[in-house]
């Protein structure tokens, strides 16, 4: 019986300790960091370059290296041909 009462007292102390800890509120600081402007500019530039390559390039990019032959071969056009049609760009 004494052990049982001792166990109840310990249990009550445990419950009191938990209630005390739960009633104490702690302030949590949440930092809301914004996206850096340079990242937005970089992603916009990549998007514009990608749209040009997929939608409008007819040999312009490789013409710097291969000259007039790049306009005849259209390497990037042939590489992105199906993606161009899937994106809704007409090419022929």
Domain boundaries of the chain, sorted by first residue = 34-92
Higher pLDDT, 70 or 1: 70
pLDDT digit string, tens, across residues 41-86: 999 999 999 888 888 888 888 888 888 888 888 888 888 888 888 8
pLDDT digit string, tens, across residues 5-24: 665 666 666 665 555 555 56
Residue found by looking up tokens 């009191």 in the block: 16
Dihedral, 45, 49, 54, 56 alpha carbons, nearest 10: 120
- What pLDDT, on a 0 to 100 scale, did the predictor assign at position 57? 83
Q: Does the pLDDT value for residue 4 go beyond 90? A: no
- What pLDDT, on a 0 to 100 scale, did the predictor assign at position 43? 97
- What pLDDT, on a 0 to 100 scale, did the predictor assign at position 91? 72
């Amino acid at each position: 019986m004494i052990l049982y009462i001792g166990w109840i007292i310990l249990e009550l102390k445990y419950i009191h300790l938990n209630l005390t800890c739960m009633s104490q509120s702690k302030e949590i600081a949440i930092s809301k960091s914004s996206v850096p402007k340079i990242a937005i500019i970089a992603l916009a530039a990549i998007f514009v370059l990608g749209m040009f390559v997929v939608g409008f390039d007819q040999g312009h990019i490789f013409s710097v290296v291969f000259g007039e032959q790049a306009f005849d071969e259209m390497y990037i056009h042939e590489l992105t041909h199906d993606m161009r049609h899937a994106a809704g760009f007409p090419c022929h």
